[in-house]
Amino acid sequence: MQGIVLTSCASVGGMLSSIRTNQIPLLKVITGWGAHWDAPTIAHVCETMPELIARTVSGDGTRGPPAGQSMIFLEPDEVLQEIQPWYNARPNLWIELGNEPNGYDASDDAAWTFRYWFIETVKAVRSSFPAARIIAPGLIENRQSDWWAICQDAFRLVDAIGVHAYAYHQFTADDTGQIQRALSQLHGFFPSKPWMLTEIGINDPGTPASDKATRYGELHAKLPSQVGAACWYHICADPSDADMVAYALPDSALPYLKAGGSV
């Protein structure tokens, strides 16, 4: 299943129209930003999309720890507050708990801390939102296998394992090789769990977005069946730096996602 990540949009209705017109069945949103997430807007998204991933702000290793914390970990009460309005509108949604927690600090100590609070958060989510499906956070390639080894028992408690992978030009072993290494490691650590590519993209600013989207579709057609979804990064109406510009997929590129794959 192909999806796309929303980081910002000028109009939620316009964005939904574009991705549904192009038969993209999955949307990933972040609970704390990307749009004005009031109850009617959340309901509209939940009613429109065949599949939906809501990623928490809590446990985000790309932003550094909140005030008063020295490490990245999930706060169970904060996660419940973030997810509640989405669950009210779509009880069986996917919830991705955290984001690249090994980005800020990839040490063993950080991994053990994250593991403890991940388990506590899963208990809270299962109790409060029993119909939800949970994804372990997408890690980056920063001691990724060490984190999967430490968190293996914790991540096995959930429904799918998230992973992030990026390339410069092509998803080949002689480019960055990130996706090949990640899939190999997933085979070893989580052979019986579905895997979810919750963020994946090509970051070369010189490659047209239509070419990137075509390559995304081609990759999707080749992924092993254990990969339940691939979310391409990203829809972004107001990119704030060169990386965000490089990854952005405008409406004109969305038809190419189907070129090499199926939805």
**Per-residue pLDDT tens over the stretch 17-65:** 999 999 999 999 999 999 999 999 999 999 999 999 999 999 999 999 9
| Cα–Cα distance, 55 to 95 (Å, whole number) | 6
Domains of the chain from N-terminus onward: 2-258 (3.20.20.80)
Find the mean pLDDT for residues 164-171: 96
**Per-residue pLDDT tens over the stretch 113-164:** 999 999 999 999 999 999 999 999 999 999 999 999 999 999 999 999 999 9
Predicted confidence at residue 243, as pLDDT, reads 84
Other beta carbons less than 10 A from residue 184's beta carbon = 11
pLDDT of residue 263 exceeding 90, the answer is: no
Other beta carbons less than 10 A from residue 95's beta carbon = 25
Angle at 34 between CA 92 and CA 140, to 5 degrees: 75
**Per-residue pLDDT tens over the stretch 176-207:** 999 999 999 999 999 999 999 999 999 999 99
Predicted confidence at residue 258, as pLDDT, reads 80
pLDDT of residue 262 exceeding 90, the answer is: no
Q: How confident is the model at residue 259 (pLDDT cuts 50, 70, 90)?
A: low
| Cα–Cα distance, 211 to 190 (Å, whole number) | 32
What stretches of 90-197 show up as alpha helix (H) in DSSP?
108-128, 144-155, 178-189
Contact predicate 212/201, CB 8 Å: yes
Q: Which residues pair with 161 in a beta bridge?
A: 136, 195
The burial of 155, by beta-carbon neighbours within 10 Å (0-12 exposed, 13-18 middle, 19 or more buried), is given as buried
Q: How confident is the model at residue 261 (pLDDT cuts 50, 70, 90)?
A: very low
Contact predicate 12/44, CB 8 Å: yes
Kindly report the average pLDDT of the chain as a whole number. 95
